[in-house]
A and B are shown apart, each in its own frame.
Chain A
């Protein structure tokens, strides 16, 4: 067990050593990420809503919409080609894995199970993707068998980026501190998706540290 753990963490170090401590680009993405959120509750701004309005609001919040329909199109099994870079200009590392997506709870949430092999060790990851109708944001959570924390990101569809842009935080295990991350999910076509992940490099500038190309399994 000890060696197994060691290999897992070694692999993880290579995978995630691209991240940095608090940097300029982090505070930039942080600002972007928190736009319109974390607003303090101010009792004075409250108006007493009638129960019909409350019911209508809740219905709108809980009913899956077109974003969920688009999400459901990704259901199925995908081959993942993972490429990651430890630092800007560093060599590209590669591995492959399999991702299985399905919608749960009446088409409201997408859960993804990732299984692969990272430097000879089994790798498992679990993701949840939501589209919050009330706040009109995508929310993504990620856990895997190498860590104890959770990566939680949120964001919107960005036409200029050609996909969903999600900002958030994760612990960089190599330094044991939280760092900012940015993910871009692109739908190339019905059978091809690309995920790009960016982090702050050691010079404070954001760089691409991971890319996953998903191809639908026939």
Chain B
């Protein structure tokens, strides 16, 4: 513990001296740059330190993500367009936390239409923006899908929105919406909406039921 404490104190010393110097410089620069759009407000080092602690310390949302650790059976239903015959596939998802409980990594494997499907998501809860951030990529793509959203404790639902490449239109993206509901400790439900390839109107394109493997 002692060496750690010492390192901490030395670091604080460095930090504070650096911070003071900066603040003084800022003030000088402010005077000479009246055209600046938004004034720089010097932050004292205690405030700065608190902001960084708040940003980097896992909280209740991260604990919730960690409570979903483990192996899950995934049952997926997919509709190619509104009213299409649903396609189903089943697979396995393994959730674990990275970096001392800060981020959830989820690895999906399944067999779809006779092909091996492999996907990976990383989900974080950004303490500063108070938003969940989720990225997804798989072996049927070359892009990365990014979604952001919030948690509603009353309905145990996470609502996310984001974009993915729109295969119908060259070079374009389309908007997606996702609802992720915790049914109980061992059951989760995900629904996804996107533009219908035939009409461009929003429709439910995918539904996933996850059950914890005993």
Contacts of A20 in B (CB 8 A): 40
Kindly report which residue of chain A lies nearest to residue B14, judged by CB atoms.
Answer: A14
Q: Let me know if B129 and A43 touch, CB within 8 A.
A: no
Contacts of A46 in B (CB 8 A): 168, 195, 197-200
Partner of A86, one of B22, B142, B195: B22
Contacts of A160 in B (CB 8 A): none
Residues of A in contact (CB 8 Å), total 83
Binary A-proximity of B108-134 (CB < 8 A = 1, otherwise 0) = 000000000010101011111100010
**Cβ of B170 under 8 Å from chain A:** yes
Kindly report which residue of chain B lies nearest to residue A63, judged by CB atoms.
Answer: B142
Contacts of A43 in B (CB 8 A): 195, 199-201
Q: Let me know if A41 and B1 touch, CB within 8 A.
A: no
Chain B CB within 10 Å — which of A58, A63, A143, A148 has the most? A148
A188 to B37, CA, bound (A): 37
**Cβ of A6 under 8 Å from chain B:** yes
A143 to B1, CA, bound (A): 27
**Cβ of A163 under 8 Å from chain B:** no
Chain A CB within 10 Å — which of B37, B49, B98, B122 has the most? B37
Q: Let me know if B55 and A148 touch, CB within 8 A.
A: yes
A4 to B57, CA, bound (A): 11
**Cβ of A174 under 8 Å from chain B:** yes
* Stretch of B2-10, B70-78, B88-96, B183-191 lying at the A interface: B2-10
Kindly report which residue of chain A lies nearest to residue B54, judged by CB atoms.
Answer: A176
Kindly report which residue of chain A lies nearest to residue B33, judged by CB atoms.
Answer: A203
**Cβ of A187 under 8 Å from chain B:** no
Contact of A134 with B170 at beta-carbon distance under 8 Å, contacts A139-B144, A148-B124 already known: yes
* Stretch of B151-159, B171-179, B205-213 lying at the A interface: B171-179
**Cβ of A144 under 8 Å from chain B:** yes
Contacts of A150 in B (CB 8 A): 122, 124, 126, 133, 135
Chain A CB within 10 Å — which of B5, B10, B55, B138 has the most? B55
Q: Let me know if B99 and A143 touch, CB within 8 A.
A: yes
Residues of B within 8 A of A (CB): 1, 3-5, 7-8, 10-12, 14-15, 18-19, 22, 25-26, 29-30, 33, 36-38, 40-41, 43, 48-49, 51-58, 62, 98-100, 102-103, 118, 120, 122, 124-129, 133, 135, 137-144, 146, 163, 165-175, 195, 197-201
Question: 18 A–B contact pairs at CB < 8 A?
Answer: A6-B49, A8-B56, A14-B14, A17-B48, A41-B175, A43-B199, A46-B195, A49-B168, A128-B137, A141-B122, A143-B102, A144-B99, A148-B124, A149-B126, A173-B52, A174-B51, A178-B129, A204-B33
